[in-house]
Chain A
Amino acid sequence: MATMTDAPLFQYTLRLADTALILGHRLSEWVGHSPVIEEDLAFGNMGLDLIGQARALYAYAGEVEGKGRDEDALAYLRDAGDYRNLLLVEQPNGDFANTMVRQFLYAAFAHPYFEALAASKDETLAAIAAKAAKEMAYHVRHAAEWTIRLGDGTDESHARAQDALEELWPYTGEIFEVDPIERALIDIGVAVDPAPLRALWNKTMDDVLGEATLVRPRDGYMQSGGRAGRHSEHLGHILSELQFLQRAYPGATW
């Protein structure tokens, strides 16, 4: 039986799932390429956390939608225009500094966000979020430590970390956007309102960037559109790799 909130709830859950999957995939691209073995393990672990979160969210989204789509159908059989992830997470890995700064920008938001979502009136989202929050606490700690080490490191690492920050900053505005779909869910206590979390995110930024001797970029023009399916050209390339097997051999399992 469809209820009033089914369609928004599906959309909302899908957004969270897509963001987790795409960032998880991005991190997995580092495995085997990291500068040191500890970071190889760290990327594998963080990617696994995110893909695990995505699986739980996709399974629930499919259930809410009620059209028989499971986690695999949602992850593998939608095109770029149907993806609803934040633009930040689809940005290329770039160098190590770029990836770590991206992880820091996202995790500094995701950790308190999932903590708040753990109090959602939707029991399934609350359960997934309670676990995700604990995982994201490690991500933000790890990424923040690296941001400091790189920023307050050599001239080379400082310059690269500052470049990464400038490049990624225009994607941070979207994180706090709320559209009518989310507003409706926020009003009934299902979704999280990101606005009150902004002060905490700002504080995390100021504390960590300060210690890293990095300059916080000014909030200028902000990129937007991921939640409406308007993506950068990078997403199609991610999906071509992520979805290749299911597209080439539909229904393949192992």
Chain B
Amino acid sequence: MASALRDSDLRDRAWTAAASVADPEIPVLSIADLGVLRDIRVENGTVEAVITPTYSGCPAMNMIALEIELALEKAGFAKHKVTTVLSPAWTTDWMTEQGKAKLRQYGIAPPVAKAGRRALFGEDKVACPHCGSNDTQRISEFGSTACKALWRCKACSEPFDYFKCI
């Protein structure tokens, strides 16, 4: 019983430490905001952080794993490891509301619709993160990272990144 309590306490501390890791490509978001941090397990004193990639080829995953290990080390956990799981596949639906608000403030339009109902030429309605107008236009399906598309606002003329919905 006492040990179970200790484990849950350790888990909370480890979660706080791991959750503080920022996405290296979108530093306003933590991996908890993104939904990349799936779980923290504590067993026999070893902390296991479970993460999931946003895209198959996301080059940030190695960096994120390394930063989690560093964060856990700094928080005083001697034994830790990071495990990557693929199932269920990450979806933008897991991004927290707080995460979406942070993205908008940062100038990136957060994902809009629920994922998975994409028609071949289905158009998203994306609000401009600068002026809020819905009079926007997609410039390119692929942006500066795999998870973003390039858009522009026809009201305020500013270009912006849109975090794609998957």
A145 vs B59: C-alpha distance in the bound complex, in angstroms? Answer: 27
B143 at interface by CB-CB < 8 Å: yes
Interface residue A130 (Cβ < 8 Å from any Cβ of B): yes
Are A49 and B57 in contact (CB-based, < 8 A)? Answer: yes
- Mark contacts of B77-108 with chain A using CB atoms, 8 A cut-off: 1 yes-contact digit, 0 otherwise: 00000000111111100000000000000000
A243 to B56, CA, bound (A): 22
**Is the pair B120, A52 in contact by a Cβ cutoff of 8 Å?**
no
Query: Counting CB contacts under 8 A, is A127 at the interface?
Result: yes
**B residues near A55, Cβ cutoff 8 Å:** 56-57
Which of B85, B121, B139 is the most central at the interface, judged by chain A CB atoms within 10 Å of its CB? B121
Q: Is B164's CB within 8 Å of the partner chain A? A: yes
Interface size on B, residues (CB 8 A): 29
Cβ-neighbour of A41 out of B89, B91, B140 (below 8 A): B140
A247 on the B face (CB < 8 A): no
By beta carbon, the residue of chain B nearest A144 is B120
Report the stretch among A4-12, A133-141, A183-191, A217-225 that lies at the interface. A133-141
Chain A residues whose CB sits within 8 angstroms of the CB of B145 once the complex forms? 45
Q: Is B156 an interface residue (CB 8 A)?
A: no
Known A45-B142, A138-B142, A140-B120; contact A130-B88, beta-carbon cutoff 8 A: yes
A123 within 8 A of partner (CB) = yes
Give the chain B neighbours of A132 by CB distance below 8 A.
56
Decide yes or no whether B115 CB sits under 8 A from chain A: yes
**Neighbouring B residues of A47 by C-beta, 8 Å:** 57
**Residue on B nearest A138 in the bound complex, by CB:** B141
A178 contacts partner chain B, Cβ-Cβ < 8 Å: no
User: Does residue B71 face the partner (Cβ distance < 8 Å to A)?
Assistant: no
Q: Does A48 contact B (CB under 8 A)?
A: yes
Chain A contact residues, majority secondary structure: helix
Q: How far in angstroms is the closest Cβ of chain A from B146? A: 5
Contact B142 A127 (CB under 8 A): no
Q: In the complex where A48-B146, A131-B86, A134-B166 touch, is A53 in contact with B118 (Cβ < 8 A)?
A: no
A193-208 vs B, Cβ < 8 Å mask (1 yes, 0 no): 0000000000010011
Q: Is the CB of A49 within 8 A of B120?
A: no
Q: Which residues of the partner chain A approach B115 to less than 8 Å between Cβ atoms?
A: 134
> Known: A41-B143, A41-B144. Is A134-B89 also a contact (CB below 8 A)?
yes
Residues of A within 8 A of B150 (CB): 38, 41
Judged by a CB distance under 8 angstroms, whether A128 is at the interface is: yes
Contact pattern, A 85-107, Cβ under 8 Å of B = 1, otherwise 0: 00000000000000000000000
What residues of chain B lie closer than 8 Å to A164, measured between beta carbons?
none
Known A-B contacts A41-B144, A42-B142, A140-B120; the reply to A52 vs B57 at CB < 8 A is yes
Q: Is the CB of A49 within 8 A of B141?
A: no
- Whether B155 sits at the interface, judged by CB under 8 Å, is no
Task: Answer whether A45 and B87 are a contact pair too, CB < 8 Å, given A131-B56, A204-B120.
Answer: no
In the complex, chain B residues whose CB is within 8 Å of the CB of A138: 141-142, 164
5 contacts between A and B (CB under 8 A): A46-B142, A56-B86, A134-B115, A134-B116, A138-B141
Which are the 10 A-B pairs with shortest beta-carbon distances?
Answer: A52-B57, A52-B56, A127-B87, A48-B57, A127-B86, A38-B140, A42-B142, A130-B89, A45-B142, A131-B89
Which B residues lie at the A interface, using CB under 8 A?
Answer: 53, 55-59, 85-91, 115-116, 118, 120-121, 139-146, 150, 164, 166
Given contact pairs A38-B142, A51-B57, a sample of 11 additional A-B residue pairs in the complex whose CB atoms are under 8 Å apart: A41-B140, A44-B142, A48-B59, A53-B57, A56-B56, A128-B56, A131-B90, A137-B118, A137-B166, A138-B141, A141-B120
